[in-house]
Amino acid sequence: MIRSFAILSSTLALANAQPFAIEKMPNPPGVDPQIGGLAVLPDGKVATAFHRGEVMVFDPATRAWKKFAEGLQEPLGILAESPSSFLVMQRAELTRLKDLDRDGQADEYETVFDDFGISGNYHEFAFGPARGPDGRLYIGLNVASNGAGVRPEIRGKWSDIGTLDRTQMTHDAQWGKRSAKAGRMYSRVEWRGWILAISPDGKSMEPFASGLRSPNGLGFDPQGNLLVTDNQGDWRGTSPLYVIQRGGFHGHPASLVWQKNWNQGDPLRLPPAELDRLRVKESARFPQGDLANSPTEPIAIPDSWGPFSGQMLIGEMNQPRLVRFLPDDVAGFRQGCLIPMFDGTQLGNGNHRLAFSPDGTLWVGKTHLSWAGAEGLVKITPSQLDRLFTATSVKLEKHGARHSLAITLSQPLAKNTATVKVERFNYRYHQDYGSPKTDAAPVEIGNPEPAQDGRQLRIPLLAKEGFIHRIDLSALRDTQGQALDGRVLYYQATRLP
């Protein structure tokens, strides 16, 4: 009886423990508090780029804001070089802000790089920068939308490839009658839909990868791979996550007109099957409405986060959660598993930009940009993460004539593995905007096989190439009675072992 009471008390204590404290910070007075960029300084202060053009620094100790710069155009990313130098991605250029007299305010706005096209279309956002292990700065450029045309004055080279000529592409009162011929999303000025790699001084640039639509999230994993999220739309059945391949085409055809020696005409008119053969496949996909609607910035989780160390954390604007990515290298390709995080907490939605402090604090910058979302700065403080019960690794392996998913766990599994459910589905790769789920079906599995120490569960199954596999582990408990943190897993089997 005494032992049973002790186990019950321990279980209740774990159930009541809060692994994360989530706290909203005060907004700066007189500023639209929609956050486009976030960076943490070595002393723990938070540099924040706001959507309307201010760059401000937040001091967590005093909860006070100080303006560093203003007058920027729609900044959607910031990188701290030092407390007196920040790189900011504006709509029109990558800018270095310098505080020369060390008074906490920028004295110099230096254009680092602006050698990319601008047509004046409202959808031509610019994202980044992310610093690569090679020291270069990586940025992502949106394609334009046929919700509008282009302006009479443009910057950069113009492509004549397309159904409409430049005069017809110019926005006027009759644009609505011509807009469908432009393509849902188009790239008529240079490097739209590309990832560019830029030297720190801005003097050299490599067109690194093509095929992006709206790459609102660039981040490097601990192994030095560049991860980029994109959003559901044309040629995007649901929102994808890519491990970017240098020189690769990542699925949205509009940007191919800027590929060196392109000679195949309008890429928007190519058959989907041909484009499918050319493209780099997704490393993961966010099922629309189930997991995410607008994924944003990927960021590496630090070692201080215990069972989450080495994984990637990804923002999500339209649902009240973040998402983890657990990588799995299969047949030379990095794919993996997406797992929801912070469900049922006070996090809320609008989670646009992420940054970790040296002490392990996670800062979340929110925005809505006229869509679903929120605003302001949120602080997330971890506590007792060593007690959490969660998946730390998901691997697709060969298992005789079939496959198995080997799921490593942070706590020993209770002997009764209860019910595990697996289903699979896909999305179409086509020109239409989004896609319904296709070929959805339950997956027959063998008896789940727990490891002797209870820290791994092997699920025999027959995986299907290219499909998302939804693994429902809601019924699992650890030896203390805890349910899994992140109970539904979405594994992308782009390749099979």
SS (H, E, C) 225-280: CEEEECCCEECECCEEEEECCCCCECCCHHHHHHCCCCCCCCHHHCCHHHHHHHCC
Q: Are residues 261 and 337 in the same domain?
A: yes
In terms of domains, do 379 and 402 share one? Answer: no
CB 461 within 8 A of CB 404: yes
Among candidate residues 329, 357, 387, the one where a domain is terminated: 387
The encoded tokens of residue 190 equal: 């240079």
**CATH no. for residue 111?**
2.120.10.30
Q: For residue 248, what are its two tokens?
A: 């690769």
How much is the pLDDT for 419? Answer: 86
d(CA 105, CA 354): 23
**Half-sphere exposure for 301 (CA within 13 Å, toward CB):** 22
pLDDT beneath 70, residues of the chain: 1-17, 370, 417-418
Joined together, the tokens standing for residue 337 give: 């598993």
* Residue 35 Cα to chain centre, angstroms: 16
In three-state secondary structure terms, 160 is coil
Q: Are residues 42 and 184 in the same domain?
A: yes
Choose one of 348, 368, 387: the last residue of a domain: 387
Say whether both 178 and 245 belong to one domain: yes
State how far the Cα of 415 lies from the Cα of 412, in Å rounded to an integer.
9
Same domain, 351 and 417: no
CA-CA distance, 391 to 410, in Å (whole number)?
6
* CB 495, CB 330: distance < 8 Å: yes
Q: Check: CB of residue 322 under 8 Å from CB of residue 351.
A: yes
CA 450, CA 442: separation in Å to the nearest integer?
22
How many other C-beta atoms are found inside a 10 Å radius of the C-beta of residue 270? 15
Hey, is 178 helix, strand or coil?
helix
17-37 exposure pattern, b = at least 16 Cβ within 10 A, e = fewer = eebbebeebeebeebebbbbb
* Final residue belonging to a domain, choices 361, 387, 413: 387
131-149: burial string, b at 16+ Cβ within 10 Å, e else? ebeeebbbbbbbbbbbebb
* 91: CB partners within 8 A, 6+ apart: 73, 74, 76, 118, 124, 125, 126
Asked if residue 484 is part of any domain, the answer here is: yes
Contact by Cβ (8 Å): 35, 367 = yes
Q: Residue 180 burial by CB count (10 A; 0-12/13-18/19+): exposed, middle or buried? A: exposed
CATH number of the CATH domain containing 474? 2.60.40.1220
pLDDT at 176: 96
Residue 343 β-bridge partners: none
Reduce the DSSP state of residue 9 to 3 states and report it.
helix
Q: Beta partners for 158?
A: 189
Q: With CA atoms as reference, report the closest residue to 95 among 53, 133, 134.
A: 53
- Residues 74, 219: one domain? yes
Report d(CA 124, CA 118) in Å as an integer: 7
365 and 401 fall within a common domain: no
Q: What is the pLDDT of residue 17?
A: 60
pLDDT in tens, 340-374: 999 999 999 999 999 999 999 999 999 998 677 89
Q: What spatial distance separates the first Cα and last Cα of the chain, rounded to whole Å?
A: 49
Query: What's the pLDDT at 417?
Result: 67
Domain carrying residue 331: 19-387
361 and 460 within one domain: no
| Contact indicator for 115, 121 with CB cutoff of 8 Å | no
Q: What token pair was written down for 391?
A: 């998946």
- Whether residue 398 sits in one domain with residue 353: no
Using CA of residue 342, residue 343, residue 344, residue 350, what is the dihedral sign?
positive
Give residue 332's Cα distance to chain centre: 22
| 397 plus 383 within the same structural domain | no
Residue 287 in tokens: 């099922």
Number of domains in the chain: 2
